[in-house]
Each structure stands twice: as C-alpha cells, then as structure tokens.
C-alpha cells in the first residue's frame, strides 16, 4: 500500500499531470479517497517554492544558450504572455484569478504553470503560494469528486 501512495506522490509532482492524474490513479489503485487527496495535495505543493524562486532565473539563464535557448525563450515568452493576459483580465483580483487558473483542472493549468506565471508577474511569494495552494485544493476536490464517480452519477440522473 505504501508503494501505491508513493506513486500518487510522485505523479502529483510531475508537471502537466500533477494531482489531476494522481488522484484518479490512486482511486484506481484502490486507495481511500481522503488519504489519496491529502498525499496528492502535499506532493503537488512540494515543487511550488522551487519553481517560484528558481524557474524564471533558469529560463532567463538558458535563453541565450545554443541548444536550449529557443525552448527556454519560448517558455519565457509563453509565461509572460500568459501572465499578462491573466493580469489584464484579473486587474486587482489577481490572487483569485491565479487560484481559479490553478484550480480548474484543464490542460496547461496547474501548480507548475500557475507558479511560473506568478513568478513572471512578480507576485509576492506568500500570495503566490497561498493562491496556488487554494487552486490545488480546489482541483483536488474536483478530481476527487470526478474519481469517486459523482459527476457520472449526476450525468446519469440528468
């Protein structure tokens, strides 16, 4: 059983998959939903401070390198455009916008992308971490409900 929880934790830390994939995997492995949710949320938050503090610096450093420069520049430009778009739509509600961006489980959203956008937007560390945490909690609830079959049951009723 410990091995299955370690899989949930590992999957939660992988970019683009994160807890959106980890919770359904945990449920599929027969793990109880609440411990799976807790492990997935905690593991999904592990990379957040590292991403906030170092990802932008690494991308800026690699932007002029021969083999990785184009990719790193692409990532920086994508993050800047996404951050500016988020900020223009959110205005003073940037915290809530970031929370919802991370919390609504769609492709390309999540803790990794949200934290990078917050870093590029120069949001303060504390606000960024709390907005991302709120989003991760929300995404976990949505994925937990979906994994438990609630959405399928509602669809069958309607």
The SS3 call for residue 54 is: helix
CA distances in angstroms from 123 to 66, 92, 135, 153, listed in the order given: 31, 12, 16, 40
Cβ 158 vs Cβ 91: under 8 Å: no
**Nearest CA among 20, 46, 36 for reference residue 105:** 20
Q: What is the dihedral of CA 129, 131, 42, 55, to 10 degrees?
A: -50
Does 38 have pLDDT greater than 90? yes
* Least confident residue range of 35-44, 76-85, 126-135: 76-85
Residue for token pair 């609504």: 104
Tens of pLDDT, residue by residue over 121-132, are 889 999 999 999
Better pLDDT: 76 or 135:
135
Angle at Cα 119 formed by Cα 83 and Cα 100, nearest 5°? 55
* Least confident residue range of 49-63, 84-98, 99-113, 123-137: 84-98
Within 8 A by CB and 6+ apart from 125, the residues are 49, 52, 53
pLDDT at residue 120, rounded to an integer: 85
Write the DSSP assignment of 59-70 as a string of letters: HHHHTTSTTTHH
pLDDT at residue 151, rounded to an integer: 55
């Amino acid at each position: 059983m410990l091995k299955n929880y370690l899989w949930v934790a590992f999957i939660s830390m992988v970019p683009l998959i994160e807890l959106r994939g980890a919770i359904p995997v945990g449920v599929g492995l027969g793990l109880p939903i609440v411990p799976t949710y807790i492990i997935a949320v905690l593991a999904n938050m592990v990379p957040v401070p590292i991403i906030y503090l170092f990802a932008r610096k690494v991308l800026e450093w690699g932007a002029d390198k021969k083999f990785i420069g184009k990719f790193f520049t692409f990532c920086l430009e994508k993050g800047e455009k996404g951050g500016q778009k988020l900020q223009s739509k959110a205005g003073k509600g940037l915290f809530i916008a970031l929370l919802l961006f991370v919390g609504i489980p769609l492709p390309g959203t999540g803790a990794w992308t949200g934290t990078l956008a917050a870093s590029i937007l120069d949001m303060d560390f504390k606000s960024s971490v709390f907005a991302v945490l709120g989003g991760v909690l929300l995404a976990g609830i949505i994925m937990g409900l979906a994994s438990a079959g609630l959405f399928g049951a509602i669809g069958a009723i309607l």
